[in-house]
Amino acid sequence: MDTAYSATHRPETFRDETFRGDFSYANSPGNIRHFPFPFHEDHYRYSVNIEPHVPGLPGSAFEHLIDVDEHYLAEMADRAQVLAEDPLRYQALPHMMLAQWDTLELLMEEQARAYPHLFTLERNGDQWRWINRPLGIDDTFTFGDPSTLPREPLDYICRQTQGDIALMDQREGNLWMDAGMITAQADWSLDFDVGMNFHEWHAPVPLAPQMGVFDRALKYLLNLQVGKPVRRLNWTMTINPRLDTSPETYPKWGPDRTTVTPENVGQKVHLRVELQSLWRLPRSNGMLFVIRGYMMRMDEVVTVPKWGRRLPRVLESLPPELAEYKGLSRYRQTTIDWLKRHDDGAPTSPGIFPD
């Protein structure tokens, strides 16, 4: 009813929905199959799972390098509301201005290339014109001159891009989170982490530091090359389709974890997945970190039989420390019990995509 798709997942209209209040967010049947289900086997195994970020299966979240879907307008409206309530969700240290322009260029190019019916980028030397049809934006500016934009370059383009954005500066053999717009995070704070290095902001994660996961990941990322972005999937669960689950707003969403019952699992409990991509930036040598979020409630997950079988098996195999870190402990067993009604015990095929 809300969205039409071609075989290549082409959003023509956008859903009128909310991520707060009445929580009217939902996925159309086509968008369910578009979802980046994060588990490629039936048990949980912690890994960095980094792979080249290249165009993938048509119709999937991997088809284009920057994904736009039916939730675009609703997500941009929610972002604007978060920023109005808490402007510190956008921060950029002064030395990151060149990386801001790198990021603006990359996000405009990728969105215009993948969705020419939605976005247009025209360039004549340093005179650029950007058209964003869904948001009704038609701006001309001088690339490299922030006075010709209504906001700083990163602030401007992040308000038009689905997903959270962090910019990292590479120095001293490390990556430093020195800029970003973070309005849909899974319980972490840009205001707290800005200026931290790679190991500092990953310090709260259990098990992985002792396994050397982050040492290996950092070594790999320090050698990332321009034009060869990489990606990985991260996941957690959330109660109600609330984008803004930041520490700053914990009093609003933390108590939701106590409201799960056997009767409301299907509607309330959501699988929350981040398609994380990392890009080396050409002028600044910085690194762009795109955290593109997706949510799907349990009664949508089980409409794909393979996912309905796999998810309870993965949740059962999750180490207790990780379940606690992800905030699942209160409702994990209730969710597993509900999901098991959709697991007939049949084997599942390898990989993340529906059969």
C-beta of residue 134 within 8 angstroms of C-beta of residue 73 = yes
| 124 sits in which H/E element | strand 119-124
Place of tokens 């071609």: 6
C-beta of residue 243 within 8 angstroms of C-beta of residue 21 = no
CA distance 144 to 97: 9
Residue 134, classed as helix, strand or coil, is coil
Chain centroid, CA 341 distance in Å: 29
Establish whether 297 is a catalytic residue.
no
Listed residue (337, 286, 293) closest to 316, CA to CA: 337
Burial class (CB in 10 A: 0-12, 13-18, 19+), 179: buried
Q: Which long-range contacts (CB under 8 A, 24 or more apart) does 4-7 make?
A: 5/30, 5/59, 7/58, 7/59
CA distance 307 to 32: 11
CA distance 216 to 210: 12
Residues 6+ apart with CB under 8 A from 271: 37, 38, 235, 237, 295, 296, 297, 298, 301, 311
Residue from 10, 232, 257, 330 carrying the catalytic annotation: 232
List, by residue number, the catalytic residues.
232
